[in-house]
Chain A
C-alpha cells in the first residue's frame, strides 16, 4: 500500500479517514447530487492544481493563478458579448492564459528572476489592473448561449466534467510516458544535470509556466459558463488553495518529484471539507481553523511517517 501510493500516502489516509467518518456521521453526503455538485465546483481547481503540480515539480512556484483566473474570465465574458462564437471561448481562455503565463515564464527563465517574486508581482499587478479597468463591474448581458455553451444544464455539466477528466488523464499519462514531461522532472531534480543531458532547461521552465497559464485560462472559462454573468473579483485565494492541494498530495515543494494522482487526492480532500462541514452542521466560524488543522495534520503525518521509515543517511 505504502509503496503503491508513495508520497501521496498521508493525503490518501487523511482523505480516507475523513470519508469513512462522513459515511457514519452524515450518510446523506454520499447522494449523487451532492457528489456531482462538489465535482463540478472543483473542476477548475483540479485543472489549475494540475498545472501547479508541474510548476512545483520543476522547482518553481506560481502564485499569480488567482489573478490570471479573474482576467481570463472577464476577457472571456467580454469576447462572448463581442460576438465570438461560443465554441471558441475555451480556446480564447487558453490563449489569454498562455500569454499571461508566458509573461511569468519569460521573466523567470530568461531574466532569471525568482518565480515567487515574479508571480507575487504579477499577482498584485494583474489583480489591481483588472480592478481598475473594470471598476469592479461584472460582465453582464451575455448572450443566452453563454451559459453551459448553450447546451442546457445537464449536457453542459457532462461536457465540463468529461473535458476535465480527459484532460487530466491525458496529462497524467503524459507525465509518465512523454519525454517532454519527463524533462520537467529532470529539470526540477537537478537543472544542471538536465542541461548537461541535453535538455533545454530554460525552455522547460518557460513551458511549465505557459502550461499553468493555459490550464488556468481554460479553468476560468469552464467555471464562467456555469453562470450567466462574470464577476470581476473571481479567484481570490485560488493560488493558496491550489498550492495546498498540491502539497497535501505529497509533492515536495523542493521540486523534482511529485505525482498528479496525489494532486487529485489533495484537490478532493480540500474540496470536500467545506461542504462536509455544513453536512456535519459545524459552526462556520471554525471552518478556517479546521482547514488549516487538516493541512497541518497531513503534513505532520507525512513528516513522521518518513522519519519512521528510517531513510538511508544520504536521503
Chain B
C-alpha cells in the first residue's frame, strides 16, 4: 500500500470521528447499539457493490452497470419465483447466474475486445435496466415473499445482529483475502499500474479482468437478493443510482480512480463515512439534501487534503513534480469557503423559510418542552405537488403546536423511504405520516414503528391496512381514474382516440390510475380508444418531446391525459406550439403550473384535490392520534378549519377530487 492511500485513510478516519461526535451531539439516539446495527443494515447492499467495485477500480476500470444489474437480478428472481413457480432457492440461483452472465458481457467486451470499461458499462447500464423494465412492463412487482426469505433482509440473529450483516462480513473477508493476501490480488495492482507491464510480467491480464467483472456482476445480484428481502418486493427500479454511491465510497476511501492503488479497508471507511452521514442527518432531522451536498464537499475535501499533505511532504524530499504554490493553496481555500458558504447560505434559507418554528433543525431543543413531534414524508421532496402539500402541513403544525419534521427522498425511491422511517423510529418521534411509494416495502417498517408505540398514518398513497392507524384518503384511485376518463369523454363526446403521458413507467400510483382509466373507458365509453402510453420521467422537457411525436404519429389523438405534475404543462406547450387547435390536454397537475394553458384553452381540466387541505388534515390527524384525542372506531373527527371530517373504517375522507377549469382556477394559488 502506498503512502498516499494511507494518508487519505487517516484523513477519512478523522472525518468519520468528527461525524460521529457531531451527530452524537445534535442527533437523537444516534450513539446507541441499536442505531449502529441499523446503519450496518443500510450499508449491506451498497457495501457489497462497493467491495466488488474496489478491484474493478484497482485495475483501472469502472463498472456503471451494477445498479441496473440489481434491478435485473431482482426482477428475474421475483419473476421466476412468482410467475414461473420456481422454488425460492432455484430462483435465487438463477438470479445469481444472471448476475454472472451480465458480468460476463462486460468482461467479454472489456477484457477480450479491449473496449473502454466506461463505454461498455454505460451501454449495459441502459441495457440491464431496460431489460428489467421490459420484462415487468415497468409496473409489475413481485411481493408476498415467504417470511423465511424476508428474514435475510429484515431479521435479527440473537435479537440484535441484522442477518445480512453476516453476508457483508463474509464478503469483506473474501475480498480482503483476494485483494491483499493472494497472487491474484497483486495482479490487480499490476494491471492497474500498467496493463502492458503486467502482461510482460506473465500476468494473464484478460483472465484477471474477466474475474473482476464477473465478481462485480455476482456481487450485484447478491446485493439484489438482499435488497429484495430487505424491502419485501422485487421490482425493476431496485438499486437505482447505487453505482454512483459505490464509486463515491471507493474513491473516498483513497482508491485511485486511475488504478494501481487502494485498499479494501479504505473502501469500508468510505462506506462508513457515507452511511453515517445519511443516518446522522435523519436522526438530527436535518434535510436530506444535505447528504448529497456534504458527500460532495467530503469527496473534494479528502482528496484536496491528501494532495496538500503529499505536496508538503514531497517538497521536503525536493520532488520537482510537487511544489506548493500560492495559487494551489488559494484554490483549496476557496473550495472550502465555497462549501462553507453553501452550507451557511442554505441554513439561512432554511431559517428564513421556516420561520414559523416548524422546522426540524431546532427540534432537539423544543422536544424537551413536551411538544409533540410529527414526522411527515412525501414521496419525493422535489415534486411540485408535494411542495404545495408542505404549506398545509406547516400551517397545521403551527396551529396545533406540534414540531413538524418534513423530509423524504429527493427523488422517488422506496428504499430511501424505509431509511427515513427507520431513522424516525430510532429518534422516537410521536407520530409518522407517510406518502407511500411502495406499499409492500414500507409496511414492515411501519409495523415496527407501531409496535414501538409510534402512531402511524398514511396520506396520499396507502400502505397495508394493518401497518397504519389511519389513511388520509384524498380520493380513491377509482375516483381519480374515473374523473379523468369522464373529462376526456366530455371533450371527445365519448368517441375517439386519446393518449396518456405518465410519470415513470414504474410508478405504482400512476399505474393504478391508468388501470382505472382503462377500466372506466372499457365499461362506459366503448368507442374511446387509448392510442398510446408514453413515460416522461417527470421531466417537463421530455413530456414536451413525447407529445410532439405523439401528435405526428397518431393524428387521430384528440385528447392527451397527463398523469404527472410536470407532464401536463409539458404536453400543453407541445400542443400549443404545434398549432393544433383540435387537441386538448387534461390531467393531474397543479393549478399554478397549468394556469396560462387553461386560460388559452389548451388545457381543459386539471384534476386534483386541495393539496394544502390534505397535508393540513394529515398533520391534524397524526397529532390527534398521538395526543389520544382520536381512537380507532371513531366515525368523524374535528379537524380545525376543515370542520367535521368523516371517517369510513380506517379511512379519513378528505372529499372527492376537484376539477379545476377556466372558470374556477384563478381562485386557487398552489
Contacts and interface: CB of A to CB of B under 8 A. Distances in A.
A254 B116 contact: yes
Contacts of A289: 126-127, 129-131, 133-134
Interface of A: 28, 31, 33-34, 37, 41, 61, 103, 106-107, 110-114, 116-118, 120-129, 131-133, 135-138, 140, 153, 223, 226-229, 231-234, 236, 240, 243-244, 247, 252-254, 274-275, 278-279, 281, 283-293, 295-296, 299-300, 302-304, 307
Given A289-B130, A292-B130, A303 B113 contact: yes
A290 B133 CA distance: 11
A113 B109 contact: no
B541 interface: yes
A284 B534 contact: yes
B552 A284 contact: no
B280 interface: no
Across the A-B interface, give the 5 residue pairs with the lowest CB-CB distance, nearest first.
Answer: A289-B130, A125-B296, A292-B126, A292-B127, A288-B130
Contacts of B122: 240, 243-244, 247, 295
Secondary structure call for the B interface: helix
B545 A274 contact: yes
B128 interface: yes
A256 to B, nearest CB: 13
Contacts of B387: 135-137
A299 B550 contact: no
A288 B129 contact: yes
B349 A288 contact: no
Given A113-B304, A118-B303, A275-B545, 14 more contacts: A117-B251, A118-B299, A138-B593, A231-B539, A236-B537, A243-B118, A278-B532, A278-B546, A278-B549, A286-B134, A292-B130, A293-B130, A296-B120, A299-B119
A121 B296 CA distance: 4
14 contacts: A61-B118, A110-B328, A125-B295, A125-B342, A132-B349, A135-B353, A231-B541, A234-B540, A234-B541, A243-B122, A288-B129, A289-B130, A293-B127, A293-B130
A113 B119 CA distance: 22
A113 B297 CA distance: 13
A207 to B, nearest CB: 15
Interface string B306-342: 0100000000000000000101100110110010001
B375 to A, nearest CB: 18
B293 A120 contact: no
A234 B537 CA distance: 11
Contact of B289 (A118, A131, A140, A243): A131
Given A110-B327, A111-B304, A243-B122, A283 B134 contact: yes
Given A111-B331, A299-B109, A125 B346 contact: no
Given A292-B125, A296-B123, A28 B552 contact: yes
A236 B346 contact: no
Contacts of B365: none
A132 B119 contact: no
A208 B548 CA distance: 35
Nearest to B108: A300
B116 A253 contact: yes
A171 to B, nearest CB: 23
Interface in B523-564: 532-535, 537-541, 544-546, 548-550, 552-553
